[in-house]
Structure 1
Amino acid sequence: MSSNALFAGQLHAVHVLGATAGAHVSSLVGGLVARGVEVTVCGPAAAEGDYAFGATGARFVAVDLGRRRARADAPVVGALRAAFHGAGVVHAHGLWAGFLSAVALGRGGEKGVPLVVTWHGGAPATGSRGVLLRWLERRAVRAATVVLGVSSDLVDRARALGARDVRLAPAAVPRPQGRPPRPPDEGERLRQKTRADHGAVDRPLLLAVGRLEPRQGYDLLLDAAAHWARAEVPPLVAIAGEGGRRAALERRITAEALPVLLLGCRDDIPDLLAAADLVVLPSRWEARALIAQEALHAGVPLVATDVGGMRELVGEAAVLVPYGDPAAFARAVTDLLADAKRRTALSIAGRAQAATWPTEDDTVAQVLSVYDELTQRE
């Protein structure tokens, strides 16, 4: 084990968090701390409030990684370099975090410290902006000692980009904690109240969850909603999330009188799931979408685009539609709403599929095995 691999008698792992995967990282570092690893988390100041890394036993250092660009800001690199002092392993989540970590380790940083990069997602880069993204992808995966891809397509992409060591590591998402299950009658009352609050007493309720950003595919969903709007009793689409495209989506919903509600950020997703007839996921690309996992765990039928790692995640337990075909998406939803037996079968299959996914303990054990392997290398 290298001399850097021990911190106060323990392995010291520094996790670098970008803009995503906070829930996964919080779960992971909590499991690592419980198993005797000293953990520091570097990430945006808001992340501590959102994910309470300190409550897991980790040390939190506020470092705003900033926007992706073709250079690394000196203050950010300096802050990371200071946080990496004495580290036995650095573990970055996301390619921008990985790139900055590699720069910090190589620019007067801790020489010989292994860098693990977990690639959580990102659609294949295209267009003029894709030139920068492809450069970033190559630099990040080639700098990493080990790349952990959360889906097989990301593993294949990392290998094609020249990564030295790539492994499949489907990141477990923590199951919601909180109140115990409600009695059936109370749960049904809440379900009906939630539906009434959103104007879906006598019509199907479709739930979408995700940031209002281009990759979520909400333009396709509104195209599908235009098909549903012609029905005698159109389903109501409720979208939980916030983002930069809210104004554009609102204008289109109003102009075309679409049966769509923008709910904004919500902290009651389990209640919305319990009230929904279907979950819809129209994304341009996904690896292991959180809402897809939550839907299958809850037994809510899912209609999603067949992109990225979705098929690998859901198997036969969801209806998958090619991206870019709103008529096919609309038809898949309409057909499923008309087929109660199929919805019941998908509900059962969804829970069964969810039971096959790695647990949080499985994820911690895999990451620990990687750390052990890397710190034992000569």
Structure 2
Amino acid sequence: MTQLRTVQVLGGGSAGSSAHVRSLAAGLVARGVRVTVCAPPELDRVYDFLGAGAHFVPVPRRNDPAAVGALRVACAGADIVHAHGLHAAVRTGLALGGGSTPFVVTWHTRSHADGARGGLLRLLERRTVRAAAVVLGTSSELVDRARRRGARDARLAPITIPPGRVPSAETGGDEAKARAELGAVGRPLLMAVGSLEPHRGYGTLLDAAREWRDLDPQPLLAIAGEGRERGALQRRIEEERLPVRLIGRRDDVTELLASADLAVLPSRWEARSLLAQEALRLGVPLVATAVGGVPELVGDAAELVPYGDAPALAAAVTSLLSDRPRREALATAGRAQAATWPTEDETIAQVLSVYDELAGA
């Protein structure tokens, strides 16, 4: 039997799409599929695609014109080419040039832009989904969006990211150490995780933090991530004396999250948020905005509030901090909800079934 050859293409490489491609590469290789991953070189240093058994081709980031040429060479002779994200799909479509190689696109999230840039993004979405044999959306809303843009075949692919290293019952000392490092001894710890970008809703989160400054004990909000909003957020924190710490990129997010009293997700839009997945798996109560794929992901296992509503966000956090039975109920519900998500093996099997279908056709 001829070995199936696939090429996986990443663009900027969000944490969710990069972790998925790493998991997918390892699973496909274990099933006898030959996998090549094309991505910016720094992503291999973080996600170790070579360690997953894949071939790795470094491809410049999306604004480099050499990227299309590198992809054209890498995709030559592939049975299936699979792009993850809009920008990766645009470049891959150009590299394939409308040839006969089956082209799969996964939408992990959506881009946010207004005005002329928003119109350009919609045009790019239409072109890429119409060039794809199959579009996989990680939430029902993304599947509907792909169909509206003209996708011939759009399917739900509710990707589950492999869990981080969940601390065991014996690691309570590590959690205490994490809280002490952040300055959250004897006070509640709230955790938010994600790039410091406008669509993450951190401005609203700081507005909410003003509301709980007078609580006793005063909660500490730790935000893990980096991005262009860091300077503006830090200025607000200092000027308004908010109980908030920006802690930058961390490789111990799972441990920090496990030590938290609450997780907070204030985003404008999410599909299958990594923070939400980890919080529910760990039994950490979650307050999140009711946007995108979040309600579909969490069910009744989180407190949901409208996007941009700082009073509602502050009230939800304050209420949970004063209601231990409700926090415990959410912790139990979160673990139960996480158990309903597709496993890593099921996620890989679904993608492989699409490949087999297209290769057979």
Are the counterparts in 2 of residues 145 and 164 from structure 1 also a CA contact under 8 Å?
A: yes
- Distance (whole Å) between structure 2 residues aligned to residue 93 and residue 341 of structure 1: 41
Give 1:300-319 correspondences, 5 Å limit: 300-319=284-303
Q: Show the counterpart of 2:90.
A: 99
**Identical amino acids, percent of aligned pairs:** 61
Give the 3-state SS of the residue equivalent to 1:10 in structure 2. coil
Give 1:1-378 correspondences, 5 Å limit: 9-19=2-12, 20=14, 21-67=17-63, 74-106=65-97, 111-123=99-111, 125-177=113-165, 181-183=168-170, 187-377=171-361
TM-score (norm. length: structure 2): 0.96
Consecutive unaligned residues of structure 1, counting only runs of 5 or more, are 1-5, 68-72
Give the 3-state SS of the residue equivalent to 1:167 in structure 2. strand
Any runs of at least 4 consecutive aligned residues in structure 1 with deviations exceeding 4 A, and if so which? none
State the 1:122 CA deviation. 1.5
Are the counterparts in 2 of residues 39 and 59 from structure 1 also a CA contact under 8 Å?
A: yes
Give the 3-state SS of the residue equivalent to 2:35 in structure 1. strand
What is the CA deviation profile of residues 37-92 of structure 1, one whole-angstrom value per residue up to 9, with x for unaligned ones? 0010000010110100001110000002324xxxxx65221111100111001000
Q: Show the counterpart of 1:3.
A: none
- Distance (whole Å) between structure 2 residues aligned to residue 117 and residue 125 of structure 1: 21
Q: Which range is displaced more, 93-102 or 125-134?
A: 125-134
State the 1:292 CA deviation. 0.5
Which residue identity is paired with 1:329? L
What is the CA deviation profile of residues 76-116 of structure 1, one whole-angstrom value per residue up to 9, with x for unaligned ones? 21111100111001000001111111111117xxx310100
State the 1:129 CA deviation. 2.0
- Distance (whole Å) between structure 1 residues aligned to residue 156 and residue 114 of structure 2: 24
Q: Show the counterpart of 1:70.
A: none
Are the counterparts in 1 of residues 112 and 199 from structure 2 also a CA contact under 8 Å?
A: no
Give the 3-state SS of the residue equivalent to 1:42 in structure 2. strand
State the 1:182 CA deviation. 4.7
Count of residue pairs brought into register by the alignment: 358
- Distance (whole Å) between structure 1 residues aligned to residue 296 and residue 211 of structure 2: 29
Give the 3-state SS of the residue equivalent to 1:48 in structure 2. helix
Give the 3-state SS of the residue equivalent to 1:262 in structure 2. strand
State the 1:16 CA deviation. 0.4
Are the counterparts in 1 of residues 158 and 342 from structure 2 also a CA contact under 8 Å?
A: yes
Give the 3-state SS of the residue equivalent to 2:158 in structure 1. coil
Are the counterparts in 1 of residues 283 and 334 from structure 2 also a CA contact under 8 Å?
A: yes
Which residue identity is paired with 1:18? G
Give the 3-state SS of the residue equivalent to 2:348 in structure 1. helix
- Distance (whole Å) between structure 1 residues aligned to residue 62 and residue 87 of structure 2: 9
Which residue identity is paired with 1:43? A
What is the CA deviation profile of residues 157-199 of structure 1, one whole-angstrom value per residue up to 9, with x for unaligned ones? 0001111000000112012248x7252xxx3332222222222
What is the CA deviation profile of residues 214-250 of structure 1, one whole-angstrom value per residue up to 9, with x for unaligned ones? 1111101001001111334321100011111111111
- Distance (whole Å) between structure 2 residues aligned to residue 165 and residue 124 of structure 1: 24
Consecutive unaligned residues of structure 2, counting only runs of 5 or more, are none
Q: Which range is displaced more, 73-82 or 274-283?
A: 73-82
Give the 3-state SS of the residue equivalent to 1:117 in structure 2. strand
- Distance (whole Å) between structure 1 residues aligned to residue 95 and residue 111 of structure 2: 26
TM-score (norm. length: structure 1): 0.92
- Distance (whole Å) between structure 2 residues aligned to residue 145 and residue 125 of structure 1: 26
